[in-house]
Each structure stands twice: as C-alpha cells, then as structure tokens.
Chain A
C-alpha cells in the first residue's frame, strides 16, 4: 500500500542520486583536464544540484517531519542515503568520470521521461524540468565516449577499462524492490526493468561508434544503494560534503 514513507524513500532515491553525483563532479572543479571540461563538469554539477533541491524539498514535504532540503542533505548518515551506487564511485581517472556520467545520463533520460507521465503532478513537473537539462548532459557524454573511445590507443584502452569496471554498478538501474513496485502500481513511477532494453540499445549504439565492446550482459551486478547499503566511498564523500553544516549548524551565506 502506498504510504508517505514509501513516497519519501522513492523521492530521496532521485534526490540523493542527483546530489551525490553533483558532489562527485564538484570535487573535480579546478582539476579538469582542459578548461572546457572543467566548465562542463561544474555546470553539470550545478544542474544536478538544482534538481536535487527540487526532489529533496518535495521529499521533506511528504515526510512532514520538519526536514527541509538542507536537513536532508547535510544531516543524514550514509545508511539513510538512497542514491544509486554508480554515482558514488570515485573519479579514479577521467575515463571513469566520463563513463560514470554516460551510463548515468542514458538511464536518467529514460527514467525522467517515464516520470513525466507520473500521476503525481509534482513528480511529473520536476521530471520534465530535469530532463531538458539531462538531455544536454547526455549529448556531451555520448560525444566524448565516441571521441575518446575511437581516439588514440591510449584513450581507447582507458575508456574500455572504465566501461568494464563501472559496468557492475549499472544493474541497479533495472532492479525493482517494494518501493519501486508500490510506486509503479500507484501510477506514480515506472517498472525499472522496463528501461533495460532501451538503455542497452542506446549504450550499444554509442559503443559501436566508439569502437568499444559491450561488457557481458550476464555479468554479476552490485545492488543495495537504493536501500541504503553503500560502498565505502559514500561515507568519505559525505564527510567532506557535510562537515561545514555539522560544525556550524544553520550556517548561511
């Protein structure tokens, strides 16, 4: 049965995923391999931060426990975050940054497109607003996968390695749990598994243009992020993101 706590859990999945990827990209500010890339990372981070605020503000309203976007972003521990595992993975190399973004952008566009027809008008309008921004992100990440995959021997090898190492974190896009299925039954969300074919088709087309091989479709996949069970990387990210607010509660510009 649909309850506010299920709606809250679902909304934080989208809000936390946008927030954590935004933080990962913001960590790269000033460290991009070229000025254009640095601007792209920071701008993408800003788009995702704006989207995270919309989701988390709404989640706080549904929860009706007096928590606003800041309380949710800064005062929860790792087990209370419901982001996808993929977005908390570290920026080990620039190939990882781009591949993480590409896998995510394809899924994000498909997922938001479904949410645009949610029976919850607030979810529908946040999704419609966000998808316009993420379509631009997808254009950039797809383009770079092709250019660096079909680039030098070195860039190709790095992209292929990143594609393989991040692949086991993509399974979580398509696995449903009780929260997903309850929201889908209420018409507020979608069946995650239904996105898989479109996602694979898009990734395959871009990989073909990039001369990259598709990782094995039956590979073992990580799961748990949506339920609050994370890789060790999330705690370190949260420590840095939350320290100011925790040390100086209520600090504002």
Chain B
C-alpha cells in the first residue's frame, strides 16, 4: 500500500462539508443557512496545501453580517477538524434572491418573514412603469395567514434585505425579504 494513502489525513468530502455549512446562519436571519441563502458559491479542496476553499458572495455590498459570516464559517469547519480554511469573496455573478433554495424560502416563511415574490429585476422601464401605474412593487402573501391582501408600510426595514408590510386581513405587520 502506498505510504501517502496510509498516512494522509482523511479529507471529508465536499458534500459532507456543505452539510456542515448548513449549520452556519446569517446572524440577522438566524433560521436560514448560508447555503440556503445562496451565499456559499463553491466548496473545494485546494490541490496544493490541503486547505478547504470556501467561495462566498456578499448579499448586499454594505451588509454588516458579511464579516460575522466569514468567522462563523471558519469556526464551524474548525470544529469538524478542518484547520485550514481559505475564504474567497466573489462579487460576480452578483447575488440574487433567485438563488434562495425552496428550503430557505420555507424557513423564512415559518419564521414570519415573507420570502421574495417573483424574480429579481431592476430595469429602468420596469421602474417607470411601476411609477406610472402607481402599483406597489410586490404584494407578497402574509407569512402568518397566507392572505395576498397586503400593503407596503416601508420600502426599507430592519436590515438591508427586508421591507416592511402589513396584512389587511389579519392586520399583522411583517418583514418581507425583498426581491433582489
């Protein structure tokens, strides 16, 4: 048996590592993992030095949670015996809520945050048409009662990624995870 196979430390496989990363959450949305949010873009073993390379992308460029998420990734993988973690930050393609997993959307809803309604878009013509029609950008279903009879209260909410809405049927206000 070749020596390097006998003595090389066991490297956990990539799927296993991805699974471990599901324990890492965004500190501002503690119920959704960074994998389900689409922040983790790639996980790989580097060929040369046995470090685990985790490629992540920021949600919003000013999101203050980014630094916390990075240190949580290191801590989590260290707990599983991966001492050398290399974090790469990738801007392109830009993060979009279209990458939220079905599991992530369901977790948001169960937590009381309405998941993004529809696909992301930011075209000039879209904005103009919306202003002309006076229609609000989206009417997400209420995460509490499911009614689609909802109105925006504020275009910005407690974090960069959320807006504030109110349900006209159960009258509860709720956070809406903006389409981005």
Contact = CB atoms under 8 A, between A and B. Distances in A.
Given A36-B153, A136-B178, A202-B128, 20 more contacts: A35-B154, A36-B154, A36-B155, A39-B154, A43-B156, A46-B64, A53-B62, A54-B91, A125-B91, A125-B92, A128-B92, A129-B91, A130-B61, A133-B60, A135-B123, A138-B127, A139-B127, A139-B131, A142-B128, A143-B131
A96 interface: no
B92 A129 contact: yes
Interface string A137-148: 011101100100
Interface of A: 35-36, 39-40, 42-44, 46-51, 53-54, 109, 121, 124-126, 128-133, 135-136, 138-140, 142-143, 146, 202, 205-206, 209
16 contacts: A47-B60, A47-B61, A50-B63, A51-B61, A53-B62, A54-B61, A125-B91, A129-B95, A132-B96, A135-B122, A136-B180, A139-B137, A142-B127, A146-B131, A202-B128, A209-B131
Contact of A50 (B60, B128, B154, B180): B60
Contacts of B60: 46-47, 50, 133
Given A47-B61, A142-B127, A202-B124, A129 B94 contact: yes
A43 B63 CA distance: 10
Nearest to A22: B62
A138 B94 CA distance: 19
Contact of B160 (A36, A47, A131, A202): A47
A73 to B, nearest CB: 14
Interface of B: 58, 60-64, 91-96, 120, 122-124, 127-128, 130-132, 137, 153-157, 160, 164, 178, 180
A128 B94 contact: yes
B122 A132 contact: yes
A125 B63 CA distance: 17
A120 to B, nearest CB: 12
A11 to B, nearest CB: 15
A136 B154 CA distance: 13
Contacts of A138: 127
Contacts of B180: 132, 136
Contact of A124 (B63, B92, B95, B124): B92
B157 A39 contact: yes
A44 B154 CA distance: 13
A135 B127 CA distance: 8
A130 B130 CA distance: 21
Given A39-B157, A124-B92, A140-B155, A205 B128 contact: yes
A40 B127 contact: no
A51 B61 CA distance: 6
A228 B116 CA distance: 42
B113 to A, nearest CB: 16
A211 B110 CA distance: 44
Contacts of A39: 154, 156-157
Given A40-B154, A51-B62, A46 B160 contact: yes
Contacts of A142: 127-128, 131
A143 B63 CA distance: 25
B127 A46 contact: no
A111 B137 CA distance: 24
Nearest to B92: A125
B120 A132 contact: yes
Nearest to A110: B124
Nearest to A54: B61
Nearest to A130: B61
A49 B64 CA distance: 11
A121 B132 CA distance: 35
Contacts of A44: 156
Contact of A139 (B92, B93, B130): B130
